[in-house]
Amino acid sequence: MRLARKHILNIRNYEPGKPIEEVQREYGLKEVIKMASNENPLGPSPKALSAIRKNLKKLNRYPDSSSFYLKEKLAKQLHLKSSNLIMGNGSDELITIALRAFAEEGEEVIIAETTFLIYVIAAQLAKARIIIVPMKNFRYDLQAMKSRITNRTKLIFLANPDNPCGTYVTEKEVAAFMKDVPDDAIVFFDEAYFEFGRQEKDYPDTMKYLDRKNVIISRTFSKAYGLSGLRLGYAMADPALVACMEKVREPFNVNLLAQAGGLAALDDKAFVKKTIKNTKEGKAFFYKEFKKLGLEYVPSATNFVIVNLKRDSKEVFKKMLSLGVIVRDMKAWGLDTYIRVTVGTEKENKKFIKALKESLAL
């Protein structure tokens, strides 16, 4: 395409999980369950939902560009200042914002091989030089990542826990890594699955590195709070870093309902607790069933699990679609025999296992 900027032409479009409606239409199915995008199967936080309803009549107004009340409340809960926080249209946006704010063309960005696909896309957009570091046993290899740091390194992305692998790096591993990261390279801890990851006893407390002034930590309302469709995330960082990110943020990136919903969700600890419980039980069920089927899986610190089907997973994926179960095949990550499944409700988990058995019998 002659009219496009050249560097965007090689960008591989992000492929989201298949929407329920599309599968219903394609396969003529009434009931379809989606276990493909690491969403919350229990619905949205009820408190958020009720706050959103109350705010519908205000939609003729622009949202507060600074998300003042939301940042104030978050700051209080996190024992930070509002100036340590920036809100995003999902935490996705904060990844793009960080690259836009900090990576000069040609500067290096270190990214693990089997991780969240948006890092590469956003780095390509920023014309950064991408350094890909292989994983070790489906885990981030922080030693290897450290060895790739040069004086051209600007950003290092660490999804912890990781998507799609579900694994996490420990407090000890992060401490050993952080010790040697130079002050002019920024470590971006993507903690989209923080609420799940923190259930592990050696999951790191990365907030203690915020004083280092070269650390950004992002989190989201999409997963544990069940608000993926609302698009709300935040990042914590030193105020000087936040100020730079604010310069490249769209003024009304966080809409009015997201601010109202997010504010209320922060009080919905009961919902988060219920989500954690459902996730733990769901994973235990999956593990038990995978073992029975002789399938290897990667133990997960998130709300999803990857499992090796030992055959082309695209075929199984398609068969499962026809049975009304949407999972994610792992071709985009080069794991051609794996699928990723998000924990659902008890009923959905059972339906998934039934459909998997049927699909594997092909």
Ligand X SMILES: Cc1ncc(COP(=O)(O)O)c(C=O)c1O
Interface residues toward ligand X, by CB under 6 A: 38, 90-92, 116, 159, 163, 190, 192, 220, 222, 228, 233
Amino acid at 24: Q
Min dist. Cβ of residue 44 to ligand X (A)? 13
* Nearer to ligand X among residue 40 and residue 163 (C-beta): 163
| Alpha-carbon gap, residue 232 to 246, rounded angstroms | 16
* Nearer to ligand X among residue 48 and residue 353 (C-beta): 48
Min dist. Cβ of residue 125 to ligand X (A)? 16
* Nearer to ligand X among residue 245 and residue 353 (C-beta): 245
CA dihedral for 83, 84, 86, 90, sign (positive or negative): negative
Q: CB under 8 Å to 124, separation ≥6 — which residues?
A: 7, 8, 10, 11, 130
* Nearer to ligand X among residue 253 and residue 359 (C-beta): 253
- What string of H, E and C letters represents the secondary structure of 271-283? HHHHHHHHHHHHH
* Nearer to ligand X among residue 33 and residue 165 (C-beta): 165
Min dist. Cβ of residue 194 to ligand X (A)? 10
Using the structure block, give the residue that is written with the tokens 């409606």.
21
Min dist. Cβ of residue 190 to ligand X (A)? 5
Triad 246, 252, 253: Cα angle to 5°: 70
* Nearer to ligand X among residue 17 and residue 46 (C-beta): 17
| Alpha-carbon gap, residue 15 to 164, rounded angstroms | 13
Burial class from Cβ neighbours inside 10 Å (0-12, 13-18, 19+) for residue 104 reads exposed
* Pairing mode of beta strands 153-159, 186-190: parallel
How is residue 200 written in tokens?
């592990």
Min dist. Cβ of residue 12 to ligand X (A)? 17
* Nearer to ligand X among residue 217 and residue 307 (C-beta): 217
* Nearer to ligand X among residue 189 and residue 359 (C-beta): 189
* Nearer to ligand X among residue 190 and residue 195 (C-beta): 190
| Alpha-carbon gap, residue 32 to 22, rounded angstroms | 10
| Alpha-carbon gap, residue 309 to 294, rounded angstroms | 9
How is residue 293 written in tokens?
């089927």
Min dist. Cβ of residue 308 to ligand X (A)? 20
Burial class from Cβ neighbours inside 10 Å (0-12, 13-18, 19+) for residue 6 reads exposed
Q: CB under 8 Å to 93, separation ≥6 — which residues?
A: 231, 233, 253
| Alpha-carbon gap, residue 51 to 54, rounded angstroms | 5
Min dist. Cβ of residue 220 to ligand X (A)? 3
Contact status, residue 229 vs residue 78, Cβ threshold 8 Å: no
Min dist. Cβ of residue 197 to ligand X (A)? 11
Min dist. Cβ of residue 59 to ligand X (A)? 22
Rg of the chain in Å (alpha carbons): 20
* Nearer to ligand X among residue 258 and residue 353 (C-beta): 258
Min dist. Cβ of residue 311 to ligand X (A)? 26
